[in-house]
Every structure is written in C-alpha cells, then in structure tokens.
Amino acid sequence: MSSSMKRVIKRSLYFLLYYSGMLRLMVFFWSYRKKQHAAILFYHRFRRPGNGAEDLLPRLDGDEFNRQLAYLKRTYDVLSLDEACALIRAGKGFRKPAIVLTIDDGYRDNYTVAFPIIRKHGLPVTIYLTAGFPGGKEGLWVDDIEYALRKTERDTFMLPGIFGEERVDIVTLAGKRSAEKRLYHRLAHADSQERRACLNELFAALDLPAENGAGRERGMMNWEEVNEMARHGITFGAHTMTHPCLASLPLEDAKREILDSRRVVEERTGKEARHFAIPNGKAADFNDELRIACREMGFASVVTTEPGVVNASSDLFSLERIIPPPPTYYFACELALYLFRRGKDNG
C-alpha cells in the first residue's frame, strides 16, 4: 500500500472517530487510568480566517485555533506552565490528562489574531519572546527568506554556495515553498555570519536590495502589545535575543543570549521570566552545559521541540512539546495518541 493511500485511510479513520463521538468516549474512559500525562503544545504564527493562500511559512488559521482551544477546554485539564512544572517538580504527575499552551517567537499575529481568541476561552498561555525584536521591523532570519521569495519578480535564481549549479525554479507557489524549506534546512545550524552572508547573496540573486527591514510591515509584537497581553494573564518567557543556534556559539556567547533575553523581558514587562525555550529546539541545538547554565540562572524550565509528552519523572530542563496539526479532527486524534498510547509507552 502506498504512503499516500495510508494517509488517506488514516485521515478517514480520524474523521470518523472524531465526528461519530467515538473519540470523546475513548478519551473519557482513558482518562480514568492511574498515571496520566501532559502535552505541551507549541504554536508560532497565526493568520486571519480566509487569508494565507500565498504563505510560504506555516500559519495557523484563526478559526482553526479557536476550534482547537474550544476542544481542549471541554476535553482536557488545561494548566499553566507554572502549574505543570510545579506538579513535575513535586513528583506528583497529573491526575487528569493535561494540556499546556505555549507560543514561540512573539510574532505580531500573536496579538492581532491569537490574543482575542485566548481571552475568549480564558486559558493560560506562555509566549516565549525573542527579546531583541519587539517593536522593530526586523524579524527572524526565516522571515527574511519568506520576504525575499515573495517580493522578488524573478522566476528562477542561482545560489552556488547552497544549491551549486542548480537553477532554482520559483515560478509557482509550490516552488517558492520548496526553496524556502531547502534554505531553512541549510541555514538552521549555520553561525550568524555565514547565515547573513547567505541571506545577502539570496537578496542579490533575487534582484532585491540588501535586507534591512525597509518597506516591510512590522512582523513582531511591540512592547505595548506585550504588556497589554501580560496584564491579561499571558505569561512571557525567554527565547534568546536573536534566535541563534545556541550550540554553534561559544559557551559564554550562548549564555549571554539566554540571560540577556530574560533580563530584557523582565525589565520591559515588570514580571519574572521563569521559563526558557530553545531556538529550533532539537537535540543538536542545545547541550548539557547550557542546560546546567539555565538551571544555575534560576529558570524553572526549558522546553524543546522534540515531540513527546511529559509526566512526573520528566526533566524540567528538557521538556518535550507537540506541534498542533490542523484540522481539528486530525489534531484531536493525534493528541490522544500522544497522551494515551505514546504516553503509556514512555511510562
């Protein structure tokens, strides 16, 4: 059986389980197990309903986010990150299957799209801020790539340092998305100098002026928006100053990125930043020295982007998280698999 056919069967099964009510019954019975787990979900970007046909980077539709939160609210115990960490620290674990909501980076759409939905449902959320960007037009380097590919009028380009002699076709949206993905994987673990040099070459290859934020709409939240959200119960954590690959930096530089981001968030919000999210978040992006440093700095937790659920024995400085995939019926079934089947496998 082909992989595409397997995907169709899986989606059809998920659709049936969700809309027949069978999934709700299964979750109800599974929730009486003695040992339960928590899933830390993480989001990034959002878009207004009906927009996004030209997006190169993934953005979750606002209506879909609303449906996911409504589902989580009626189905699971939604905890703040502080509450979940306190239970893990005490070795108590979770009496009910639980959910923790987090958002990475601090994009402006967190305020314009997600915030009203979060307030509507009254759920606790932690946002990890890349603290060097609020208020300016500069964004993450992946946004530079998206901006360049969307702005250019070229149909093809060459970038010998990355693609060799290949002429990359970007005449279609699919071609641009493919180019963006390939550039991301090539540059994700590059140091800042190499990455900037490659981005400059990309802009030149696409017949665009060197990128400095000019002409671009503000992509990140400003501090006024951050503080309004903080006043309404949103917790803010640290996510470095400039979103580098920390493992590629000298240890002292990496520690400075972490510590400075916490200091800036605390100074600008007047509230303690107790939690840290690793940029990129995979095993290759962090190391034990940095994990120890975060503990010594006084952080309460460190989250990764490695997929999985957490329980009473989880390491608070290496917490796994799950990306919530749309649509809601698929998300609900995948989440149940993590919480009840894969969670059981992990103890």
The one-digit pLDDT tens for each residue of the chain (347 residues) are 788 888 999 999 999 999 999 999 999 999 988 889 999 999 999 999 877 667 899 999 999 999 999 999 999 999 999 999 999 999 988 999 999 999 999 999 999 999 999 999 999 999 999 999 997 777 889 999 999 999 999 999 999 988 999 999 999 999 999 999 999 999 988 888 888 899 999 999 999 987 655 557 788 999 999 999 999 999 999 999 999 999 989 999 999 999 999 999 999 999 999 999 999 999 889 999 999 999 999 999 999 999 999 999 999 999 999 999 999 999 999 999 999 986 555 55
Q: Domain range holding 261?
A: 9-136+218-345
Q: Can you say whether the dihedral through the CA atoms of 258, 262, 268, 274 is positive or negative?
A: positive
Report pLDDT for 53: 67
CA dihedral for 317, 319, 323, 324, sign (positive or negative) = negative
Same structural domain for residues 259 and 155?
no
Q: Does residue 174 share a domain with residue 242?
A: no
93 found inside a domain: yes
Scanning the chain, the segments in alpha helix (DSSP H) are 3-20, 22-30, 62-75, 81-89, 109, 115-121, 141-151, 160-163, 173-187, 192-205, 223-231, 251-269, 288-297, 328-336, 343-345
- Res 123: pLDDT: 98
* Number of domains making up the chain: 2
Residue among 219, 303, 235, 294 nearest 269 (CA): 235
Q: Are residues 194 and 340 in the same domain?
A: no
Whether 212 is in a domain gets the answer no
Do residues 125 and 235 both lie within one domain? yes
> Among residues 205, 233, 261, which one ends one of the domains?
205
Q: Is residue 130 part of a domain?
A: yes
What pTM was computed for the model?
0.93
pLDDT, the chain, mean: 93
Whether residue 340 sits in one domain with residue 259? yes
Q: Are residues 82 and 184 in the same domain?
A: no
Q: Do 127 and 245 fall within a single domain? A: yes
- Let me know whether 266 and 187 are in one domain: no
1 domain residue, yes or no:
no
- What distance lies between CA 195 and its chain's CA centroid? 21
**What pLDDT does 152 receive?**
94
- Judgement on whether residues 149 and 20 belong to the same structural domain of the protein: no
CATH of the domain at 318: 3.20.20.370
Domain boundary among 205, 232, 247: 205
Same-domain pairing of 272 and 177: no
One domain for residues 341 and 236: yes
State whether 173 and 286 are in the same domain: no
